[in-house]
């Protein structure tokens, strides 16, 4: 097959891979390459494998590789940036942001972004609170960027940088000479505001900011209480950004305000939380926005960067932007104006009976396309895997609230479905311009949210009481956490030193708040509790807790054997016709090997990482947590055409690219979710030579 130069340029801009997460600024995850196609995909074989050696218990590797000029740039589980020969996978150079020390953060990195100019190629790579500018040829930080090649993302947010946790798990976008980025923040107070910021690509100087929690007098401030800019946090864009370079627009999907499950301290709709916001890329000025959840108390962040699409609407071709959600809805807007291409209605939503909470009376719902997953659970949807499993689940289900898609969190316990990880999640959608289909993978996993009071401390309290008030919401009262998102603290002393634990408590890490405000004696008491189990008395200011409620942990609703408490499918892949507003096909995605061995196949499973669609008629997707497979489907019918088992699950988005006369499909096999083995490999597939 002869590949024209223009096609190769397009392929390298499509993440396939190039400028950012999911292929170019449009986030389409589309490749125009067709050497690998529906007729020959079954012949794919391993072309090369790179083993980073950086995996450790519970680690993940979610990076979508970036491929430019025959070089593949990837990120390892310890957040090393590596450059590989894209044709054979051999290591060209490696950049370690921790300089040989133990990583200061094990946060996720989902991709990279590149800028080129003046004969230089620059890779922007985030690790902990730092954003690095790394020379694409040598792997060395550029000394003229920020402070010796890096900028501190904690600066410029109006808070003491030592008291907040800020990172960037997903790459930003580059517009001319601007690097535009979002952030990942703590999900409980104290948390920083999630401002969208643009930095000069050469110097690292801040050029503009968009305040997602508006200051007094700014548009949207009326949807918050007075002082929210100083006292609230969150409303960040952790999932990545999308760039319309033709119009000079950057599309920003935002998350909820902190704390995720109780908002009595922030009455109102809380703009611009849970919104798709269109900004002018050169100035950060808001052009339009739409809020998908009012006053979010369900952790229903917009989970993925939106996708730029072209659809037929009203008899004409329309440049649109498609936003998937955790609730299973797809919102479709005209890019320039924000005009919805399908009607959106406000539907009544139930009120909360938790003291101090004031829920929004209505919530938005698009009338088309139909949701790509079930919208709520009832008794008829409970598992029938075995009679014993059904009976046990039904008994617990009867004690939970579950009457509405927006049933508020409660002290009794509320079933949140679609769950806290979606529905749609960070892998996002892929769009095929040839068919007009949007491909979305989704989870069908229910979660239980149960609020509990945070007890006010007296003049003297205990380390255990401090833990319950500040830590148990994520790490649970039994310290088991819900790995890998919220790691277990059981026997933490076997994995971390006392100094490392203290540093994490004091400064935070990834989604964990910084707790420097507790004071030295309280932090020391927490360290002794975690390291040695000593529950000592500690002096306290006696001040009331920042918020009156926390929750009892991130709890999936599972049956007694650890399988989802709902009937299958437990994970799906769906093709949506965006012009017609209809679902073309839907199939289960993933299996549990133990159940498949018993004859219970095609159940679907939890899945993370997105699909890639190609001109060769294929959808490539890993994502499935338990069966460790990379699959290829027919993009028109959804028929499975090829699959292979990986050394660890590929909870990452694949990349498709061309190098030295061959088309490759590469994916990061990082594992680590659901208690599965961790890995640290990039594995590339291609057709046998001469085919």
User: Above 50 in pLDDT, residue 405?
Assistant: yes
Instruction: Return the pLDDT at 488.
Output: 82
List the domain range (segments joined by +) for residue 527. 455-544
Of 478, 509, 544, the domain-final residue? 544
H/E element, 503: helix 498-507
**CB burial of residue 513 (10 Å; 0-12, 13-18, 19+):** buried
DSSP for 540-584 reads: ---PPPSSSEEES--EE-B-TTSSBSBPSPSEEEEEEETTTTEEE
- What's the rounded Cα separation, in Å, for the pair 221 and 212? 10
Q: Which tens digits make up the pLDDT trace of 48-65?
A: 999 999 999 889 999 999
Mean pLDDT of 377-399: 97
- What's the rounded Cα separation, in Å, for the pair 363 and 172? 29
Tell me the HSE value of 498 on the side-chain side, using a 13 A CA sphere. 10
Contact yes or no for 316/329 (Cβ under 8 A): no
Q: Which tens digits make up the pLDDT trace of 637-651?
A: 999 999 999 999 999
**CB burial of residue 348 (10 Å; 0-12, 13-18, 19+):** exposed
Instruction: Return the pLDDT at 533.
Output: 82
In a domain, 360, yes or no: no
Same domain? For 430 and 573 the reply is yes
Question: What's the pTM?
Answer: 0.92
**CB burial of residue 545 (10 Å; 0-12, 13-18, 19+):** middle
Same domain? For 516 and 592 the reply is no
When divided into structural domains, the chain yields a total of 2
| Radius of gyration over every alpha carbon of the chain, rounded to an integer in angstroms | 24
In a domain, 461, yes or no: yes
Same domain? For 617 and 654 the reply is yes
Mean pLDDT of 540-558: 82
Same domain? For 678 and 588 the reply is yes
Facing residues of 348 across strands?
362
The mean-pLDDT minimum among 12-21, 322-331, 515-524, 610-619 falls in 12-21
Tokens standing for 267?
């009455």
Same domain? For 615 and 523 the reply is no
For 357, other C-beta atoms within 10 Å of its C-beta total 21
Q: What is the DSSP letter of 371?
A: P
Same domain? For 575 and 523 the reply is no
Contact yes or no for 664/645 (Cβ under 8 A): no
Same domain? For 536 and 574 the reply is no
- Say which residues have a Cβ less than 8 Å from residue 131's Cβ, sequence separation at least 6: 124, 125, 146, 150, 151, 153, 168, 179, 181, 199, 204
In a domain, 267, yes or no: no
Contact yes or no for 534/528 (Cβ under 8 A): yes
Q: Given CA atoms 688, 630, 371, 293 in this order, what sign does their dihedral have?
A: negative
Same domain? For 28 and 81 the reply is yes
Same domain? For 432 and 579 the reply is yes
In a domain, 381, yes or no: no
Confidence of residue 254 (pLDDT cuts 50, 70, 90): very high
Q: Given CA atoms 462, 464, 468, 472 in this order, what sign does their dihedral have?
A: positive
- What's the rounded Cα separation, in Å, for the pair 386 and 563? 11
Tokens standing for 630?
């990379």
- What's the rounded Cα separation, in Å, for the pair 82 and 61? 13
Q: What angle do CA 238, 322, 631 make, to 5 degrees?
A: 80
Confidence of residue 24 (pLDDT cuts 50, 70, 90): low
DSSP for 160-194 reads: -GGG--EE-SS--EEETTEEEE--EE-SSSS--B-
Confidence of residue 398 (pLDDT cuts 50, 70, 90): very high
Tokens standing for 382?
């409970």
Same domain? For 635 and 671 the reply is yes
Instruction: Return the pLDDT at 539.
Output: 75
Instruction: Return the pLDDT at 1.
Output: 42
In a domain, 654, yes or no: yes
Tell me the HSE value of 497 on the side-chain side, using a 13 A CA sphere. 6
The mean-pLDDT minimum among 15-19, 57-61, 108-112, 357-361 falls in 15-19
Tokens standing for 393?
């689940």
- What's the rounded Cα separation, in Å, for the pair 213 and 604? 38
Tell me the HSE value of 48 on the side-chain side, using a 13 A CA sphere. 15
Contact yes or no for 499/524 (Cβ under 8 A): no
- What's the rounded Cα separation, in Å, for the pair 445 and 605? 9
Helices 520-532/498-507 angle, 10° precision? 130
Q: Which tens digits make up the pLDDT trace of 459-509?
A: 667 878 778 777 887 888 888 877 766 778 888 887 788 887 887 787 777
Tokens standing for 299?
């952790």
Name the residue with tokens 């269109």.
278
Contact yes or no for 254/237 (Cβ under 8 A): yes
Confidence of residue 528 (pLDDT cuts 50, 70, 90): confident
Q: What is the DSSP letter of 684?
A: E
Confidence of residue 537 (pLDDT cuts 50, 70, 90): confident
Strand order through the sheet with 414-416: 414-416, 447-449, 555-556
Facing residues of 585 across strands?
575
- Say which residues have a Cβ less than 8 Å from residue 679's Cβ, sequence separation at least 6: 55, 61, 646, 647, 648, 649, 669, 670, 671, 672
In a domain, 446, yes or no: no
Name the residue with tokens 């000029």.
69
For 58, other C-beta atoms within 10 Å of its C-beta total 18
Instruction: Return the pLDDT at 460.
Output: 65
Helices 520-532/463-470 angle, 10° precision? 90
Contact yes or no for 513/469 (Cβ under 8 A): no
Same domain? For 537 and 596 the reply is no
Contacts 24+ apart (CB under 8 A), 637-640: 637/585, 638/573, 638/575, 638/585, 638/586, 638/587
In a domain, 401, yes or no: no
- Say which residues have a Cβ less than 8 Å from residue 690's Cβ, sequence separation at least 6: none
Q: What is the DSSP letter of 84?
A: E
Contact yes or no for 415/613 (Cβ under 8 A): no
- What's the rounded Cα separation, in Å, for the pair 108 and 98? 15
H helices of 386-489, in order, are: 387-397, 463-470, 472-475
Mean pLDDT of 292-302: 98
Mean pLDDT of 141-155: 97
Same domain? For 691 and 575 the reply is yes
Tokens standing for 219?
């548009």
Q: What is the CATH number of the domain that holds 496?
A: 1.10.760.10
Mean pLDDT of 553-559: 95
Tokens standing for 612?
């890639």
Instruction: Return the pLDDT at 536.
Output: 80
- Of 184, 181, 182, 179, the C-alpha closest to 199 is 179
Strand runs (DSSP E) across 245-306, as ranges?
249-253, 257-258, 275-280, 286-291
Q: Collapsing DSSP states into helix, strand and coil, what is residue 512? A: strand
């Amino acid at each position: 097959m002869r590949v024209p130069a223009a096609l190769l340029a397009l392929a390298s801009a499509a993440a396939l891979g190039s400028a950012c997460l999911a292929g170019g600024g449009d986030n389409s995850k589309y490749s125009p390459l067709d050497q690998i196609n529906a007729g020959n995909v079954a012949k794919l074989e391993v072309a090369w494998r790179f083993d980073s050696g950086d995996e450790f218990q519970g680690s993940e590797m979610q990076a979508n590789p970036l491929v430019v000029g025959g070089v593949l740039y990837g990120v390892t589980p310890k957040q090393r940036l590596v450059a590989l020969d894209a044709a054979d996978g051999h290591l060209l150079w490696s950049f370690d942001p921790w300089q040989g020390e133990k990583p200061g953060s094990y946060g996720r990195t989902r991709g990279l972004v590149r800028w080129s100019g003046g004969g230089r190629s620059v890779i922007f790579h985030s690790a902990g609170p730092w954003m690095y500018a790394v020379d694409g040829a040598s792997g060395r930080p550029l000394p003229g960027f920020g402070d010796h090649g890096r900028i501190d993302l904690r600066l410029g947010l109006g808070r003491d940088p030592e008291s907040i946790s800020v990172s960037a798990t997903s790459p930003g976008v580059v517009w001319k000479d601007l690097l535009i980025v979002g952030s990942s923040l703590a999900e409980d107070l104290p948390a920083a505001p999630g401002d969208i910021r643009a930095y000069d690509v050469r110097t690292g100087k801040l050029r503009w900011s968009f305040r997602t929690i508006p200051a007094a007098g700014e548009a949207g401030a009326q949807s918050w209480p007075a002082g929210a800019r100083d006292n609230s946090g969150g409303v960040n864009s952790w999932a990545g950004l999308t760039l319309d370079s033709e119009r000079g627009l950057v599309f920003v999907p935002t998350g909820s305000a902190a704390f995720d499950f109780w908002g009595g301290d922030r009455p109102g709709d809380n703009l611009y939380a849970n919104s798709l916001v269109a900004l002018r890329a050169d100035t950060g000025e808001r052009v339009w926005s739409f809020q998908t959840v009012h006053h979010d108390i369900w952790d229903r962040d917009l989970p993925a960067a939106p996708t730029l699409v072209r659809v037929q609407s009203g008899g004409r071709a329309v440049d649109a932007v498609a936003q998937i959600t955790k609730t299973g809805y797809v919102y479709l807007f005209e890019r320039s104006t924000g005009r919805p291409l399908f009607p959106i209605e406000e539907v009544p939503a139930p009120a909360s009976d938790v003291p101090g909470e004031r829920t929004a009376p209505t919530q938005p719902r698009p009338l088309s396309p139909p949701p790509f997953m079930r919208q709520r659970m009832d008794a008829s949807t409970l598992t029938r895997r075995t009679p014993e499993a059904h009976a046990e689940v039904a008994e617990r289900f009867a004690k939970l609230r579950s009457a509405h898609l927006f049933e508020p969190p409660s002290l009794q316990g509320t079933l949140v479905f679609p769950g806290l990880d979606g529905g749609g999640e960070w892998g996002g959608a892929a769009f095929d311009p040839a068919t007009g289909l949007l491909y979305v993978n989704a989870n069908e996993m229910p979660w239980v949210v149960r609020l509990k009071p945070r007890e006010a401390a007296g003049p003297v309290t205990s380390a255990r009481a401090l833990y319950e008030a500040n830590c148990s919401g994520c790490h649970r009262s039994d310290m088991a956490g819900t790995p890998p998102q919220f790691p277990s603290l059981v026997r933490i002393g076997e994995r971390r030193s006392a100094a490392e634990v203290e540093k994490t408590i004091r400064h935070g890490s990834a989604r964990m708040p910084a707790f420097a405000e507790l004071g030295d004696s309280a932090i020391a008491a927490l360290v002794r509790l975690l390291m040695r189990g000593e529950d000592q008395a500690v002096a306290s200011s006696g001040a009331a807790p920042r918020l009156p409620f926390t929750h009892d942990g991130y709890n999936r609703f599972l049956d007694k054997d650890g399988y989802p408490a709902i009937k299958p499918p437990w994970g799906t892949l769906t093709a949506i016709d965006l012009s017609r507003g209809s679902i073309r096909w839907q199939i289960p995605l993933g299996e549990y090997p133990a159940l498949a061995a018993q004859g219970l196949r095609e159940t679907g499973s939890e899945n993370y990482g997105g699909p890639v669609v190609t001109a060769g008629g294929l959808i490539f997707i890993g994502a499935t947590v338990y069966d460790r497979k990379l699959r290829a489907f027919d993009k028109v019918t959804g028929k499975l055409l090829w699959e292979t088992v990986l050394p660890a699950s590929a909870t990452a988005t694949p990349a498709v690219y061309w190098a030295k006369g061959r088309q490759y499909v590469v994916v990061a096999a990082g594992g680590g979710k659901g208690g599965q083995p961790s890995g640290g490999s990039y594995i590339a597939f291609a057709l046998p030579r001469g085919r």
